[in-house]
A and B are shown apart, each in its own frame.
Chain A
Amino acid sequence: MNPQKMFREKLKGQLGRKLLSSPATYRLAKDLFVNRNRFAFKAKMMMTAMALDQAAEAYHQSKAVAWTSAFFPGELVYLFDLVPFAPEAAAGATASLDLAPDLLKHSDQMGLSADSCSFHRCAAAGTDLEYFPLPDFLMASSHLCDGAPRLFQYMARRYNKPLYLLDVPYRQSKQALDYVASQLAEVAEDLEKQTGKKLTDEKIKEVFDNSNRARYHQLEVAGLRQNIPSPLNGEEGLAYFYLTLLGQGHPETPKIYQTLAEELQEIIEDRRDDASYFKAEDYRLIWLHLRPYYASEMISYMEKELRQKIVAEEMNYVYWPPLDPEKPFLSLARKVLSHPALGPIDRKLETIQKMVDDYRADGVIHFSHWGCRQSVGGTLVMRKKMREKGIPFLALDGDCIDGASFPWGQSLTRIEGFHEMLEQLQA
């Protein structure tokens, strides 16, 4: 049996929970999935190694662990040398390990409504079953979703640990900036007390420098992907969302993006054997929201069979200005408030239009993760606006975690229908 497959099977068994919560598992996984695996991109190998190291460190509990929700400014975690753990990312991992169906069932038994976001249902069940490393702090932001702060309230109550909730207004006014910045300053002040670590200018410079260098190279990657043909597909590109969740401020993140940029340059210049494989494209697409994390043919079918290539992802879009270490909290507040999906849909529409223009895209696909009110709720207005602009748009119903609810056949029909439309438009 393939050792990687065997490893996955073991995790699904009765020992799964114990194995998942052992740091040794992640060291073994690093050997199996990093050292013995063949990665098309060195950058992805580096990111996988970083993710497994972070998980091992979180389970080891030698340092304080902070659970964070998506879009909470991760730099704050690194400012205090905390180990970040993202329950939503962990939910994605459980789907890829085929553990999600049992967790979803458990969340039903807990009384959490089945129409909640499946990332959150899995994370709630994982918390209840103690799959995850114990938190010392929990941090969540109200942008963009209503569910995450509620989920984190449940988790903080479960563990009786300090919870920091960031209330993010929809406006980008000075008052809104001050309001968010003052909350971030308050969190930092409390973390100083809780951890006994004084926040120094040197530490702020170090973490912000990591974040800014990562941003710089992320923009470099984005620029390279605007080439026709693009050197990177969505199958690879979507994976880098991990760095948005857990890598902002981490020293490895700029190195990963820099490596990726170098590798993309090699593809553009045909200096790699697989350059023609990555360059293959008939249609260039912008991908909104995330992807299925369980085994699914969706993306590979689109990209390989239909040659509809995802050239840019909403979740990898650099929307924030560089951070200023002289004004740390105001700067982080600005980052938080500049998210295009915050508030009314106009900013998101402008961003999509800009992405379509910058990447010279032929169409836009919105993966409508069923339980995500924030993204799904706007799809009809989005579709109308895209039609007015003459941009082909597909809202593809699905679920990132719960594969059983959305059979592949349904998606296939819609993807093929969209493909026909692209063909007709090109003809």
Chain B
Amino acid sequence: MAEQKKSPRKKVGWFCTYTPEELIYAAGFIPYRLLPEQKVGEGSVEDALPGNICPYPRKILSNLRGGIYGDMEGIVVANSCNAMIHLYNALKEESDLFIYLLDIPRRQDEKAINYFTRELELLAGYLGEKGQPVSKESLRHAVEIYRQKSKLIELCSRHIGLAANGHFPAGVYGLALEAAGTEPETFIHKMETIAGQMEKPDPEAGTGPQDGNQTVLLLAGGLPPQGLVEMLSEQPGLQIYPENCAGIRYLHKFFQVHYSSENPSLETILKTIARNYLEKPPCPRVFNSQAREDYYRQLLDDLQVRAVIYHDLMFCDMCHYDYLMLKELLKEKDIPHLKVKTELGDEDLGQLKTRVEAFLEILD
């Protein structure tokens, strides 16, 4: 992660990509994504979270106990799955930070957008009390900052080879990690510098691969362990697209801002945010399997995916059932795939490496 300048803003942790970073920023905090990829905290969490639930919240709790994420003011937990609710319960029990539970609809229609808008109003009110009040001006400013950020990410996506050329460790994945954990102005500054060094993008080029000699591999499924990403990044001739919420589903969160008036109300801005977030590329928890299937189809076609590695994260129901759908699509499109299971640790990397290398050899 890039070195950050000391900021007067304090960090507020978040997990799920349906959590609007703009709101956290507008309340005077730095939105900071808590991911298990970083150094793992010492000690067991078996006293708070059992071993047979998703390892993501277990690792987060371990990291928090170990102070891995540094100083934080609070955490916004999203009601995204059962495991996250249990993390919320555990954090409420033991953490001195403020812990907020945000309800996130699983639908994408107007009913859901209206419900989510109300949820965001509540979150804005809560964060405003903890930091600075969220006004329409501060929120509009935050929206603009994040819109700039997403535009630069989009630009970078058109030159996707750049990510693998040393600007971000572990390619696209590194780009996503840095985008989610860095103060937005710092990230924008870095991206503008990089963009200035790039050739002007071809507006017709889309987001597909730019280097025809490389094999495009989709890394789908749940958040992968750091070791797996690094191992794949080291494989020559591979262009890796991580289809997960810390990968392209986060990067492709393009923000459309169309207010009906010059001076939109706070509610209008919140509704715009709610709509943008619920309509972003769907994750497996969204109650629209057709949208998820269409999204997969589009990725496979646009990126000209040659092979897929599916990370079936242990104890994650979203992953388990998403795999059944993707498996059918891959069969239909005759795209080879390898399913691997981990608990987000690097313990089984040796065996994993053998399997991955054997799979890649078959592709050759």
- Interface flag for B325 (CB, 8 Å): yes
Question: For residue A380, which residues in chain B have a CB less than 8 angstroms away from its CB?
Answer: 46-50, 90
B312 at the interface (CB under 8 A from A): yes
Task: Determine whether the beta carbon of A147 is less than 8 Å from that of B317.
Answer: yes
Q: Quick check: is A273 within 8 A (CB to CB) of the other chain?
A: no
Contact A150 B105 (CB under 8 A): no
Contact yes or no, A157 B289, CB < 8 A: yes
Of A113, A165, A370, most buried by chain B (CB within 10 Å of CB) is A113
A182 interface hit (Cβ, 8 Å): yes
Q: Chain B, 33-57, contact with A by CB distance < 8 Å: what is the 0/1 string? A: 0000000000000111110111000
B341:A113 contact, CB within 8 angstroms? yes
B284 neighbours in A (Cβ, 8 Å)? 150
Asked if A343 is at the interface (CB within 8 A of a chain B CB), the reply is yes
A150-185 CB contacts (< 8 Å) to partner B:
150-151, 153-154, 156-157, 165, 167, 169-171, 175-176, 179, 182-183
Contact mask A189-209 → B, CB, 8 Å, 1/0? 000000000000000000000
B82 CB to closest chain A CB (Å) equals: 4
* Closest residue on chain B to residue A384 by CB atoms: B93
B106-114, B130-138, B196-204: which lies at the A interface? B106-114
Q: How far is the CB of B286 from chain A (nearest CB, A)?
A: 10
Inter-subunit contact B339/A171 (CB<8 Å):
no
Residues of A within 8 A of B263 (CB): none
Determine if B107 and A377 form an interchain contact, defined as CB atoms under 8 angstroms apart. Answer: no
- Complex Cα distance, B53 from A399, in Å, reads 15
Q: In the docked arrangement, what's the CA distance between A355 and B325, Å?
A: 42
Interface residues on B, range: 35 or more
Q: How far apart are the CA atoms of A366 and B357 in the complex, in Å?
A: 44
Chain A residues contacting B82 (CB-CB under 8 Å) are 144-146, 373-374, 377
Digitize A318-337: 1 where CB-to-B-CB distance is under 8 Å, 0 elsewhere: 00000000000000000000
- A390 CB–B CB distance under 8 Å: no
The answer to whether A381 and B321 touch across the interface, beta carbons within 8 angstroms, is no
Whether A378 is near chain B, meaning CB under 8 Å from some CB there, is yes
Q: Are B315 and A373 in contact (CB under 8 A)?
A: yes
Interface membership of B92, Cβ < 8 A: yes
Q: Does A112 contact B (CB under 8 A)?
A: yes
| B101 cross-chain contacts in A, Cβ below 8 A | 170, 343-344
Contact present for A377 and B53 (CB under 8 Å): yes
Inside 8 A of B195's CB, which chain A residues have their CB? Answer: none
**B106 is contacted by which of A110, A142, A377, A378 (Cβ under 8 Å)?**
A142
A146 to B79, CA, bound (A): 11
Q: Does A376 contact B (CB under 8 A)?
A: yes
Q: Give CA–CA (A376, B85) in the complex, Å.
A: 12
Across the interface, do A379 and B50 meet the contact criterion of CB distance under 8 Å? yes
Which residue of the partner chain A has the closest CB to B310?
A111
Task: Judge whether A249 is part of the interface by a CB distance below 8 angstroms.
Answer: no
Q: Is the CB of A150 within 8 A of B85?
A: no
The reply to whether A373 and B79 form a contact with Cβ atoms under 8 Å apart is no
Q: Separation in Å of the B107 CB from the closest CB of chain A?
A: 5
CB under 8 Å from chain A, chain B span 101-134:
101, 103, 105-107, 111-112, 114-115, 118
Tell me if A269 is interfacial: C-beta within 8 Å of chain B.
no
Contacting residues, chain A, for B318 (C-beta < 8 A): 146, 150
A157 to B325, CA, bound (A): 9
Instruction: Give chain A residues whose Cβ lies under 8 Å from the Cβ of B48.
Output: 380-381
User: Chain A: which residue is nearest B46 at the CB level?
Assistant: A380
Evaluate contact between A115 and B90: CB separation under 8 angstroms.
Answer: no
**A73 located at the interface, meaning its Cβ lies under 8 Å from any Cβ of chain B in the complex:** no
Task: Tell me which of B47, B103, B114, B324 contacts A171 (CB under 8 A).
Answer: B103
Query: B residues within 8 A CB of A146?
Result: 81-82, 285, 317-318
| Interfacial chain B residues near A378, Cβ < 8 Å | 86, 89
Q: How far is the CB of A138 from chain B (nearest CB, A)?
A: 12
Chain B residues, CB < 8 A from A176: 103, 115
A150-B106 contact, Cβ under 8 Å, with A176-B115, A344-B101 = no
Contact between chains at B320 and A112 (CB < 8 Å): yes
**A residues near B325, Cβ cutoff 8 Å:** 153-154, 157
Establish whether residues A169 and B90, one from each chain, have CB atoms under 8 Å apart when the complex forms. Answer: no
Minimum CB–CB distance for A281 against chain B, Å: 30
The answer, among B106, B115, B118, B324, for a CB contact under 8 Å with A165, is: B106
Return chain B residues, CB-CB under 8 Å to A376: 50, 52-53
Write the nearest CB–CB distance from A289 to chain B, whole angstroms: 14
The answer to whether B320 and A113 have CB atoms under 8 Å apart is: yes
Residue of A nearest to B110 (CB): A182
Give B320's nearest chain A residue, CB to CB.
A113
B98 contacts the other chain (CB 8 A) = no
Q: Most chain-B Cβ atoms within 10 A of its Cβ — which of A144, A150, A171, A176?
A: A150
Nearest B residue to A381 via CB reads B89
User: Given the known A-B contacts A167-B106, A374-B82, are A110 and B324 also in contact in the complex, defined by CB atoms under 8 Å?
Assistant: yes
A149 interface residue (CB < 8 Å to B): yes
Give complex CA distance A167, B79 in Å.
12
Q: Given the complex of chains A and B, what is the CA–CA distance between A343 and B289 in angstroms? A: 24
50-86 of chain B: CB within 8 A of chain A: 50, 52-54, 79, 81-83, 85-86
Determine whether the beta carbon of A182 is less than 8 Å from that of B111: yes
Closest 9 CB pairs of A and B: A150-B321, A377-B86, A373-B82, A113-B320, A147-B317, A179-B115, A165-B287, A146-B317, A167-B106
11 A-B interface contacts by CB (under 8 A): A116-B320, A145-B82, A151-B321, A171-B103, A175-B115, A179-B111, A183-B111, A376-B52, A377-B82, A377-B85, A380-B50
Q: A110-B324, A111-B339, A175-B118 are in contact. List 20 more A-B contacts (CB 8 A).
A: A111-B323, A113-B320, A115-B315, A146-B318, A147-B321, A149-B287, A153-B289, A154-B321, A167-B105, A169-B115, A170-B101, A170-B103, A179-B112, A344-B92, A373-B81, A373-B317, A376-B53, A377-B50, A378-B86, A378-B89
